[in-house]
Chains A and B, each alone.
Chain A
Amino acid sequence: GENVEQHPSTLSVQEGDSAVIKCTYSDSASNYFPWYKQELGKGPQLIIDIRSNVGEKKDQRIAVTLNKTAKHFSLHITETQPEDSAVYFCAASMATGGFKTIFGAGTRLFVKA
Chain B
Amino acid sequence: DAMVIQNPRYQVTQFGKPVTLSCSQTLNHNVMYWYQQKSSQAPKLLFHYYDKDFNNEADTPDNFQSRRPNTSFCFLDIRSPGLGDAAMYLCATSRGEGGKNIQYFGAGTRLSVL
Contacts and interface: CB of A to CB of B under 8 A. Distances in A.
Interface string B87-98: 000101010101
Contacts of B98: 95-96, 99
A82 B36 CA distance: 28
Interface of A: 9, 31-32, 34, 36, 41-46, 49, 51, 89, 93, 95-96, 98-101, 103-106, 108
A17 to B, nearest CB: 24
Contact of B99 (A89, A95, A101): A95
Given A41-B107, A43-B107, A99 B42 contact: no
B41 interface: yes
A98 B90 CA distance: 19
B102 A43 contact: no
Q: Can you list the 5 inter-chain pairs with the closest CB atoms, starting with the nearest?
A: A43-B105, A103-B42, A95-B98, A95-B99, A44-B105
Contact of A32 (B31, B90, B99): B99
Q: Which of B33, B40, B103 has the largest count of A CB atoms less than 10 A from its CB?
A: B103
Nearest to A6: B42
A46 B42 CA distance: 15
